[in-house]
Amino acid sequence: MGFALMVEPRYTVSEYLKLEEESEVRHEYYDGEVFAMAGTSMNHNRIVGKLRAIFEKRFQPDGCDVFTENVKAEVTPDLCYAYPDLILTCSAEDRDGVYIVKNPTILVEVLSKTSISKDRGFKLRMYKQIPSLQYYLLVSQNEFYVELYSRSIHGNLWNYQSFENPVDKIVFEPLKFEILLSAIYENIKFWGPEEKTLPEE
């Protein structure tokens, strides 16, 4: 998911949250700046739907919640709030919440031409700072290509993997969960690859 044009003026977090309650347009927030969210493609929507179904089948029996696109995540309190394409949370605090997920386990972004640099750059850096986050999954909508950042047992160190073979399995080992790459892209028609960039360290 990407940012569109900044909406003036600067906002406090309280003002931003009130704006979100009243607005029909979603906005993301960073340090006083508020950004209106751009629309998405049908491929984007299809992939998010497939991932939601996969995640719900595996994790809802464990009492976890899966949210997509219209639920915001508190990335850094009082500094950064975003709308990931998919959120998995198994937190009791989040289950009792109303508008904001504060303790995500997995965040997913489906890449587009307008969001790819931000999803792999700014959002990657910010998401890594969320204490509860274990995985950040980036999914191309135009080719078989998925990237996975996994928090290591050492806490602040992250591992990187990429997958581009339809028979590849994306494994979330501590969660006893895996996804076949082909399942994400079932019945998806590709329109051309996004520009690849080297992963951030």
Tell me the pLDDT band of 114, cut-offs 50, 70 and 90.
confident
pLDDT number for residue 4: 56
Domain residue ranges in the chain? 41-184
* Residue 132 DSSP class: T
Average pLDDT of the chain is 91
Whole-number percent of the chain with pLDDT over 90: 78
CA dist list (Å): 36 to 18, 87, 88, 116, 180 = 15, 20, 23, 17, 33
* Residue 176 DSSP class: T
pLDDT number for residue 39: 81
Tokens for 184, please give them: 């994400």
| Out of 38-42, 50-54, 68-72, least confident range | 38-42
Whole-number percent of the chain with pLDDT over 70: 91
Separation of CA 129 from chain center: 14
pLDDT number for residue 3: 52
| Out of 45-49, 62-66, 111-115, 185-189, least confident range | 111-115
pLDDT number for residue 176: 94
Query: Which superfamily does CATH assign the domain made up of 41-184 to?
Result: tt1808, chain A (3.90.1570.10)
Q: Is the pLDDT of residue 148 over 60?
A: yes
Tell me the pLDDT band of 198, cut-offs 50, 70 and 90.
very low
Q: Is the pLDDT of residue 6 over 90?
A: no
Are 150 and 138 in contact by the 8 Å Cβ rule? The answer is no
